[in-house]
Amino acid sequence: MNKGIAVSVAILATGFILFNANRTFEAEKKTVADTGETIVIPSFSFPALEIPTARTGNKALASGAWAVFETYLEFARNHDMEGVRSLSHQISDTCNDSAKQEACFALMDSVYFFGSQLEFSEFTHIEVDERQIIMYTEGPEFKILYFTRTEIGTPKVLGLRLCTEEEDAPDPGCAETNASTTDQDSDGWWDSVESLFQPNTTQ
């Protein structure tokens, strides 16, 4: 994604990035305007998986993940920290600190603002295994949702990445969709998913 303009939104609760504010949504520390590069969110080499559309073989899985995301956004809109926590893979340090409640609510508002503008119908692609899910739109303005999965397969919100691919960008391009399932350290987490994990968080 080194040739695109991207914004990553971590889900607050360790789940979607709302809230990984310390790593991906802290505009005052690092903005797209400042760097011209991707702001990495809380981010998967397995053999490349066939990428079915969200409307075919994985329709139920895509629908279920989207339902979790919508509920997560509603919790964020209502500043329901316990609700956000229940659907998130991780929670940011800001939202784990009761003394920073106002800042945490601001993060929730930002996540809701960006997330509420998305439409399920846009997410025509899905990649999935037993530990993680990536759903994404067609380019050049990519929207990518990241989820982890519990032992019984329940999706947990991890992150949102928004990426605009430049016309002259070489492959793999802005969203790197063909490399999404790469796992260079062979730990079972795709590199793009693992890059969204907060430091010192037990996965």
CA pair distance 10, 159, nearest whole angstrom = 5
Between CA 150 and CA 157, with CA 155 as vertex, the angle to 5 degrees is 115
User: Which pLDDT tens digit goes with each residue over 12-32?
Assistant: 543 333 333 333 333 223 333
Q: Does residue 196 surpass a pLDDT of 60?
A: yes
Kindly report whether the peptide bond that precedes residue 199 is cis, defined as omega within 30 degrees of 0. no
User: Which pLDDT tens digit goes with each residue over 146-177?
Assistant: 999 999 999 999 999 888 877 766 555 566 65
Percentage of the chain lying above the pLDDT 70 cut? 63
Q: Fill in the amino acid letter for 52.
A: P
